[in-house]
Structure formats: C-alpha cells, structure tokens
C-alpha cells in the first residue's frame, strides 16, 4: 500500500497559510500572482544556436524576426542553449511561431518547449 | 682470502647476535612507511622454517619471522603465536594486504592473510535516529526501524529490522571510507534550509539559485522575488490557488522542503550524536543548486543547473569554484529524453560528473525524463522487501534500484513502517528559521518516492569517488551495476505479486527481473550495495617484492610485482622506472613493462625504483621501493643464513658458526691495524645505510 508523501491535512495547511499570511508568507505572493497573469498563450522555449553566442539582445531579436512575434530573453543554459519567451496573442500564434523557429535550421540546431519538471516524491 | 674470512666472520657474528640488534628494513615501500603491517602466517607442515631449535615458542616464532623476512626482502618481527605452525608477523613500510600477498607467494607458507581489526558490527554511527526513530505517537514519530535502509540487509536487528533485504549496506562501506571532502555532490532541487541543525557539519557549500523568471519580471515560480542569484535557500514551494491558476499546476497547501530532504540523505552530519546519519557519513561536500520552485522547474534552469554544478560556465552566472563529481536530481517529467538534456548530461559526464536521476513516481509507468537520458543513472525504488514499490516507474533505461520508502501499514493514520527518514523543516508554507525549524520526516510525515532512492545512489557514488577519484562516470555506473545484489523473487506484500514485465501498462508492486540472457532488465542490474560498490573500486594496489635477497654491486637484482587486485580483476600493465639511482648507477636491464624486472647496480649505495600498475578496469596504482646495494667486495658465504633459501634457523649459535667465528678472530689477530679498519668499514657501510 502506498501512502501519499505529504500527510498533512489540507485543511490544517490552509489554516496555517492563513496564519502565515499575517506574517508575510502568503500575503507576499499576492502581488506577484497578479503580475504573473501574463497572456495565456505566452510560451517559453529553448533554442540551440548553430553559432554559439552570449548576446541576449541579439538572440531575442533574431528569434523575434524569425518567429514573427515579440520575443524576449529568459535565461541561458550554455553559449549554445538559451531560453526565450514567445509573446503570442493566441495559442495558434504560438504554434505557428514555434514552427517557424523549428524550420530555421540555419540558425537553430534544435528548438524545444521549455517544459517543467517536478520533484519525484510520490 | 683473509679479507673474505674476516667479512664472513663479522657477518656470522652479526647474525648470531641478539635479535634486537639485527638491522632494520633493507628496503621500504614509500606508502604507509610509518604503519605496521600485520599478517597471520601459517607454515606448511613440511616447511624447513619450522625446524626446531632449543628456544622458547616465542623465540621459534621470531626465528621463523626473521627467516621469512629475509626471503621476501623485508625485516619481519614476530607477533602473537597462534598454533605450532601459525603466528602473527609484523612488518613496516607496506600495508597488511601487501605484506600478506608477498608472504603468501612463499612455498613454505600454507596461507597468509591480513590480521585485521574486527568489530562486533561495523561500528554503527551514534546518531540516535539511525537505530530507531522518535517514539510513535498518534500523529508523529517513528519509524521504529530508524534508518533501516542504511544498514546491512538482514543483519539490522530483530523483528522488522531483520526483514529489509533492500537495505543498502552503507554501514560496512563506512569501514572503508567515510567520504572525502574533495568530492562534491550537487543536489538540484528546491534549495536548502541551511539552518537545519543536522546540516552543520561544515560540509554544506553555498550553491546557487538557478530559477529564472516565469515571464519578464515575474518570479512566481522562484518564490523569492528574484531570478538567478547566489542564494540557494529554500523559501518554500507551496502553491496557492491563484498561483496554481497562473502557472498551470495543482494547488499545494504545504511546502515540501524537498531539497532539504534529499540533501540530508546524502550529507547530513553523521556520528554527531544527533538526528540522522547520511549515506556519505557527512564526509563529502554537498551543494544545493535550486532549480525547483512552485510548480516545479523549467528544463532550461535544470539544464543550466547541471552545467553549472559540473563546473561548466553558464552565461550570466559566476563560475562554480567547487565543481561536483556527483549530481543528484530527484525530479522528472513525462516524455522521452530531449536534446537539451542529452547535451547537458553529456557535457557534465565529460566534465567528470556522475548524474543520478529518479525514475519517477507515475505508478509503474515508463521511466521519466531525464532519468531516461543517455549518461544518466536512473534509479527505481524498492520496497523494504526488495520488490519494486508500486509508485515507482521502471524500464530498460534504469541502472540500479534502491529503497524509496514504503508503508506496509494498513489504514490512513497508522504509522508507516518503512519510510525513508531524513531532514526537513517544520514550516507549513514559509520556513521556520533556526533550530526550532529543524525536523525529520517520520512515519506520519513520510518521505516516499524515487526522490529518495536517487540520493542513496548519489551518496554511494560519492563514496566510490572518495576512494578512487580517477573513476569516470561510466566506470562508476558499471561498478554500481556489477556490485549490485540480485533482486529477490519472494517476500512481497502478498502471495500473488507478479514479476515486472515490459508491457506498456503500468506495473504496480512487482518482482524486478534479474539480468540474464534474453532478459530485459526493468529495475537495473540489481539492488544497490554501497559496501560492495566501494569495495569494487578500491582497485589495484601496487607492491614490489625484492627477489634478490642480498643486492650486490655488479650483480643482477631481480624485482617482482606483488601487486594485489580485487577478485575478478587482473593487472593489465606494468611500468618500472628507476626514480633515483643514487651512487649505484643502477639501470634496468631488458624490458621494463613486465611483471618482473632486472636492475644492475654498478656500485654500492641505494637506488629507488618505481612500479606503476594498471588493472583491467583502468585503475592505476604506483609504489616505490628503496633498495640497498652492498659492495661487490663483500660476498657472504653461500652457507650463511643471509643467503640461504632454507632460512634454517639463523638465531642459534651452532658448531659451524662457532668455527667460523673462531677463524675470524684468528684472522683478525694476524691482520695489520690498517687492514683491520678497512675490513670492518666494508661491512659497516651497508649497515649504516639500512
């Protein structure tokens, strides 16, 4: 029989969160939650450059030109791999932009959606 | 002739003198020069070394040790007598294992084994929760079996303690190594509660926070209000309803303190009389790299964390001055391995970092990403009984399995019997600072998952690298596999537990298939055995035996490798080099890459020779030997004990010796003073140099 990793009752945690909110824990996250309400179709992708570069501005500008939508720089993994935000008006626009990036094999060796991984506790 | 007679007399007098006055080592091995090697020797019944003399048993043993020592070119002393034919001998300048190997090669010896210290058990650490967790109450405490997973399997005590075949046997590994501070393990996770009382052993490095923005200027996932920086502290990863909506993940009412849990398993202070023990005994360095926040972490941040941890520069991030040899990732997601992970793990491997990843907990489905990536060591979770626990994923990409915690209990609210116990924080959402926030997971707030299997393997890899830093990631992986114990085929939670199959359907609790012809392994090569893994990489130990008992100028001196390898290993190559010829003018005659070598000195003095051995696993060991060379004007008689192979006695003053001594005295009386001084100085010179 497998039991869940966290056995704290949700109600107890919620109550604690309310208490903590008075101190700052939960309350502090509220402004950021509002700020995080970015367009639903915004997409974070990783690109592997054919020619390695550390010029964030140039990388985002080139991605924007190829994708045909606004692109901002997110972070680097290496001189070859970079994460960028695609700012799309819709999910369909994101799909199209992603397809254009993937087709630009002279610029990008690989283009991947910058997905999320989770902790591996059951 | 007269000169030869004088020399003979003095040599004879020397060997007839009290044993305590005998010369010390003729040569010493450079390693362990100050330590005493102890070996139990049993002579064959027909050994000439057992020849009776009119001496006490202790005297007999001393004579045998001396004679044996002359044969192998070392000064040996006798220790405790055991039986008529066996006793302990002591030597210096080499290890007990090396000395045993040299003695065992003698034809008169039935066996020679290191006289090692034994303990009642392998000295369990004094951390109180190692043996048993806190008292079980209605909602907290336990487990009664403590840190069952670190102990020897099946030898961990009574009752439930004795029924944990999957325990990893770290305890016995600690007899070999308690970890080297030069080995760093990076823990890519949610960050760390640095103030935990059991993480104050001085082995925790600052690490780095690699979590970047969710969107420009937005740091909801990071939860600390900023992006990448040098603060790897865990602020908590609870997720509110609105955060869940914006980030697209489930709400989490409580923080996990997951990074504190995984790092504590690897590097919590051990034998400090407090809390828990860790796999590495707290001996290696541990370094948190924060890549998971609210709703997990981005692939790009995780991959940047892999690179940075391995010492590879990441643009915009300061260079990591403490690169990791092991990277633990208790994380994952669905899907096949992507190019980003292939590149990052490949570069980390190339930089010398072992990458260990949890298989995933999707309930017995395929291995998660990045555990399924080339170069990763994927780890499946086992129940205490050694069968695969239901939640753990599995597949052919897995390298090895280790306990992940399981609950053989029954109903909700009942104490879990076999959880993994580790460090955590008492905070529900935000952390509680200081010692008041330091806590341990237990039978009610349980640590369960492949998240906790991977750190056990990472800790094992760190111990392996502690004893053999030259190991490559591929070698670590191979040795983890070859040293693993077979999976059991019984002992599951019911009589109907099936064998795991490679079908596409999810596999609940099942018996892992053992490797074999035509078998697709799904849980790796077997169950992690830390002791066996560390033992497997101890590698070759180079040792030199001086075959020529009395090296003399202008005569060939034979030296032979007496290097020791582990069972199943062999020596692949030898390389002999004269490091320092001194006044001897010694050169190697003939080949210098064989198991033996011949050196020809042209004058008295001492030379230093080096032997480098490489075994078939690529382990390299080097040792040196200083050999004293006598002048060729001094030639001991063939019948003198120093030159005989029978070694017959040497201590007793027989009629023959008395005759020789008398002849010498007569010769001395007839010699001019100048000649006498000269003759005495000839024999005194080598003695001084010894």
For residue range B57-86, what is the model confidence (pLDDT) as tens digits?
Answer: 777 788 888 888 888 888 898 887 777 777
> Do residue B429 and residue A26 have CB atoms under 8 angstroms apart?
yes
Sheet containing B620-629: order of strands: B571-580, B605-615, B620-629
Q: Whole-angstrom Cα distance, residue B23 to residue B327? A: 53
Confidence at residue A23, expressed as pLDDT on a 0 to 100 scale: 29
Q: Whole-angstrom Cα distance, residue B267 to residue B261? A: 10
The answer on A58 and A92 residing in a single domain is yes
B431 or B414, greater pLDDT: B431
Mean pLDDT is lowest, of B20-29, B371-380, B581-590, B655-664, for: B20-29
HSE-up of B289 (CA within 13 Å, CB side)? Answer: 29
List B451, B561, B563, B617, catalytic entry: B451
Give the pLDDT band of residue B619 (cuts 50, 70, 90): confident
* Residue from the list A16, A17, A119 with its beta carbon closest to the beta carbon of B296: A119
Coil, strand or helix at B424: strand
Give the pLDDT band of residue B263 (cuts 50, 70, 90): very high
Confidence at residue B657, expressed as pLDDT on a 0 to 100 scale: 40
Give the pLDDT band of residue B117 (cuts 50, 70, 90): low
**Spatial CA neighbour of B124 closest among B174, B54, B79:** B174
Give the pLDDT band of residue A96 (cuts 50, 70, 90): very high
What is chain B's mean pLDDT, rounded?
84
> Do residue A110 and residue B339 have CB atoms under 8 angstroms apart?
yes
In a domain, A108, yes or no: yes
The answer on A76 and A29 residing in a single domain is no
In a domain, A121, yes or no: no
For B130-140, the pLDDT digits (tens) are 999 999 999 99
Give the pLDDT band of residue B40 (cuts 50, 70, 90): confident
Yes or no: say if B168 and B402 are a contact pair by the CB < 8 Å rule: yes
pLDDT at B408 over 90: no
Å from A109 to nearest chain B CA? 10
For B601-612, the pLDDT digits (tens) are 999 999 999 999
Which residues, listed in sequence order, are joined to residue A83 by a DSSP beta bridge?
A46, A75
Give the pLDDT band of residue A83 (cuts 50, 70, 90): very high
For B284-335, the pLDDT digits (tens) are 999 999 999 999 999 999 999 999 999 999 999 999 999 999 999 999 999 9
Give the pLDDT band of residue A6 (cuts 50, 70, 90): very low
The CATH number of the domain holding residue A81 is 3.30.70
Beta-sheet pairing, B208-209 with B285-290: parallel
pLDDT at B447 over 50: yes
For B492-517, the pLDDT digits (tens) are 999 999 999 987 889 999 999 999 99
Confidence at residue B114, expressed as pLDDT on a 0 to 100 scale: 75
Confidence at residue B70, expressed as pLDDT on a 0 to 100 scale: 87
Q: Give the residue from chain B lying closest to A47, CA to CA.
A: B340
**Spatial CA neighbour of B251 closest among A57, A82, A10:** A10
The answer on A28 and A80 residing in a single domain is no
Any CB–CB contact under 8 A between B214 and chain A? yes
Yes or no: say if A77 and A68 are a contact pair by the CB < 8 Å rule: no
Yes or no: say if B221 and B239 are a contact pair by the CB < 8 Å rule: no
Q: Whole-angstrom Cα distance, residue B605 to residue B17? A: 25
pLDDT at A122 over 70: no
pLDDT over 90 for what percent of chain B? Answer: 65
What's the number of domains chain A is made of? 2
List B189, B393, B442, B615, catalytic entry: B189
CA angle B489, B494, B500 (to 5 degrees): 45
B28 or B110, greater pLDDT: B110
pLDDT at B560 over 50: yes
> Do residue B246 and residue A36 have CB atoms under 8 angstroms apart?
yes
Yes or no: say if B574 and B590 are a contact pair by the CB < 8 Å rule: no
B271 or B656, greater pLDDT: B271
In a domain, A95, yes or no: yes
Confidence at residue B669, expressed as pLDDT on a 0 to 100 scale: 42
> Do residue A75 and residue B249 have CB atoms under 8 angstroms apart?
no
pLDDT at B448 over 80: yes
Sheet containing B596-600: order of strands: B544-546, B557-561, B596-600, B587-589
Yes or no: say if B615 and B15 are a contact pair by the CB < 8 Å rule: no
Give the pLDDT band of residue B159 (cuts 50, 70, 90): low
* Residue from the list B220, B303, B454 with its beta carbon closest to the beta carbon of A81: B303
Yes or no: say if B6 and B671 are a contact pair by the CB < 8 Å rule: yes
What is chain A's mean pLDDT, rounded?
76
**Spatial CA neighbour of B335 closest among A4, A11, A3, A116:** A116
Q: Whole-angstrom Cα distance, residue B687 to residue B313? A: 59
* Residue from the list B254, B299, B454 with its beta carbon closest to the beta carbon of A13: B254
Q: Which domain holds residue A30?
A: 9-37
The answer on A97 and A73 residing in a single domain is yes
pLDDT at B16 over 70: no
The answer on A18 and A52 residing in a single domain is no
Give the pLDDT band of residue B567 (cuts 50, 70, 90): low
For A9-21, the pLDDT digits (tens) are 333 333 333 333 3
Q: Give the residue from chain A lying closest to B338, CA to CA.
A: A112
Structural domain boundaries in chain B: 2-117+541-689, 147-538
Beta-sheet pairing, B354-358 with B326-329: parallel
pLDDT at B656 over 80: no
Å from B186 to nearest chain A CA? 15
Q: Whole-angstrom Cα distance, residue A103 to residue A109? A: 10
Is residue B258 among the annotated active site residues? yes
> Do residue B307 and residue A77 have CB atoms under 8 angstroms apart?
yes
Is residue B189 among the annotated active site residues? yes
Confidence at residue A2, expressed as pLDDT on a 0 to 100 scale: 31
Confidence at residue B543, expressed as pLDDT on a 0 to 100 scale: 84
In a domain, A27, yes or no: yes
In a domain, A122, yes or no: no
B329 or B664, greater pLDDT: B329
> Do residue A122 and residue B253 have CB atoms under 8 angstroms apart?
no
Q: Is the pTM of this model over 0.90?
A: no
Distances (CA, A) of B490 to A56, B153, B387: 57, 15, 8
Which residues, listed in sequence order, are joined to residue B420 by a DSSP beta bridge?
B447
The CATH label, of 3.40.50.10190, 3.40.50.970, 3.40.50.200, 3.90.1280.10, for the domain at B147-538 is: 3.40.50.200
pLDDT at B46 over 90: no
pLDDT at B458 over 90: yes
Any CB–CB contact under 8 A between B449 and chain A? yes
Coil, strand or helix at B112: strand
What is the fold of B2-117+541-689?
A: Immunoglobulin-like (2.60.40)
The answer on A109 and A75 residing in a single domain is yes
Burial state string for A29-38 with b = 16 or more CB within 10 A and e = fewer than 16: beebbebbeb
Yes or no: say if B55 and B73 are a contact pair by the CB < 8 Å rule: no
Confidence at residue B3, expressed as pLDDT on a 0 to 100 scale: 37
């Amino acid at each position: 029989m497998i039991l869940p990793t966290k056995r704290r009752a949700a109600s107890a945690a919620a109550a604690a969160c309310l208490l903590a909110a008075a101190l700052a824990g939960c309350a502090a996250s509220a402004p950021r939650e509002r700020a995080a309400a970015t367009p639903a179709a915004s997409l974070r992708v990783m690109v592997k450059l054919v020619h390695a570069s550390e010029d964030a501005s140039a990388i985002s500008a080139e991605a924007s030109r190829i994708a045909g939508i606004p692109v901002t720089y997110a972070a680097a993994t290496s001189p070859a791999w970079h994460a960028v935000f695609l700012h799309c008006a819709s999910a369909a626009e994101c799909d199209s932009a992603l397809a254009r990036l993937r087709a630009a094999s002279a610029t990008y060796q690989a283009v991947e959606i910058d997905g999320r991984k989770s902790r591996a506790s059951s | 002739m007269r000169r030869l007679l004088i020399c003979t007399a003095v040599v004879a007098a020397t060997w007839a003198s009290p044993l305590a006055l005998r010369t010390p080592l003729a040569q010493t091995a450079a390693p362990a020069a100050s330590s005493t090697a102890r070996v139990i020797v049993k002579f064959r019944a027909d050994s000439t070394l057992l020849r009776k003399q009119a001496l006490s048993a202790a005297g007999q043993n001393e004579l045998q040790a001396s004679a044996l020592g002359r044969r192998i070119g070392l000064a040996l002393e006798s220790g405790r007598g055991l039986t008529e034919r066996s006793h302990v001998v002591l030597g210096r300048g080499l290890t007990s294992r090396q000395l045993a190997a040299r003695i065992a090669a003698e034809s008169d010896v039935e066996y020679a084994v290191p006289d090692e210290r034994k303990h009642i058990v392998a000295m369990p650490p004094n951390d109180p929760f190692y043996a048993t967790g806190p008292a079980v109450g209605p909602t907290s405490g336990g487990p009664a079996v403590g840190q069952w997973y670190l102990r020897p399997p099946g030898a961990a005590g009574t009752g439930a303690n004795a029924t944990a075949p999957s325990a990893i046997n770290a305890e016995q590994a600690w007899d070999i190594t308690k970890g080297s501070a030069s080995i760093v393990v990076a823990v890519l996770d949610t960050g760390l509660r640095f103030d935990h009382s059991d993480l104050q052993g001085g082995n925790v490095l600052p690490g780095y926070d690699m979590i970047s923005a969710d969107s420009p200027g937005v740091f909801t996932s990071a939860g600390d209000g900023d992006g990448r920086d040098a603060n790897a502290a865990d602020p908590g990863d609870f997720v509110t309803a609105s955060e869940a909506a914006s980030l697209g993940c489930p709400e989490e009412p409580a923080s996990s303190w997951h990074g504190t849990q995984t790092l504590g398993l690897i590097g919590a202070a051990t034998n400090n009389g407090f809390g828990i023990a860790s796999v590495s005994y707290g001996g290696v360095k541990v370094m948190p790299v924060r890549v998971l926040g609210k709703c997990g972490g981005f692939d790009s941040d995780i991959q940047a964390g892999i690179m940075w941890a391995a010492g590879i520069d990441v643009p915009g991030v300061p260079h990591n001055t403490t690169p990791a040899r092991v990277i633990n990732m208790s994380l994952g997601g669905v899907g096949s391995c992507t190019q980003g992970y292939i590149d990052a793990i490949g570069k980390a491997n190339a930089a010398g970092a072992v990458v260990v990843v949890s298989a995933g907990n999707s309930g017995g489905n395929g291995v998660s990403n990045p555990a399924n990536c080339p170069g990763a060591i994927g780890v499946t979770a086992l129940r205490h009984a050694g069968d695969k626990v239901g939640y753990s994923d599995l597949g052919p990409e897995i390298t090895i399995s280790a306990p992940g915690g399981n609950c053989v209990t029954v109903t909700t609210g009942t104490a879990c019997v076999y959880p993994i116990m580790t460090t955590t924080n008492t905070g529900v959402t935000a952390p509680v600072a200081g010692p008041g926030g330091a806590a341990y997971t237990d039978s009610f707030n349980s640590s369960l998952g492949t998240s906790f299997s991977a750190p056990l393997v990472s800790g094992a890899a760190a111990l392996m690298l502690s004893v053999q830093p030259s190991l490559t990631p591929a070698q670590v992986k191979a040795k983890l596999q070859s040293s693993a114990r077979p999976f059991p085929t019984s002992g599951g939670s019911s009589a109907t537990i099936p064998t795991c199959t490679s079908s596409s359907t999810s596999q609940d609790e099942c018996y892992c298939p053992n490797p074999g012809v035509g078998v697709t392994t799904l849980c790796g090569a077997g169950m992690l055995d830390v002791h066996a893994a560390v033992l497997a990489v101890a590698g070759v130990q180079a040792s030199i035996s001086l075959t020529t008992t009395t090296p003399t100028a202008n005569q060939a001196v034979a030296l032979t490798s007496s290097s020791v390898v582990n069972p199943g290993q062999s020596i692949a190559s030898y390389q002999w080099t004269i490091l320092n010829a001194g006044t001897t003018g010694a050169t190697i005659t003939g080949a210098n890459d064989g198991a033996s070598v011949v050196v020809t000195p042209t004058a008295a003095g001492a030379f230093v020779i080096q032997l480098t051995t490489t075994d078939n696993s690529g382990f390299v060991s080097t040792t040196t030997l200083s050999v004293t060379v006598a002048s060729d004007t001094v030639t001991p008689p063939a019948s003198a004990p120093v030159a005989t192979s029978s070694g017959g006695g040497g201590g007793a003053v027989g009629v023959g010796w008395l005759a020789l001594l008398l002849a010498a005295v007569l010769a001395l009386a007839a010699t001019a003073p100048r000649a006498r001084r000269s003759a005495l100085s000839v024999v005194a010179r080598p003695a001084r140099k010894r």
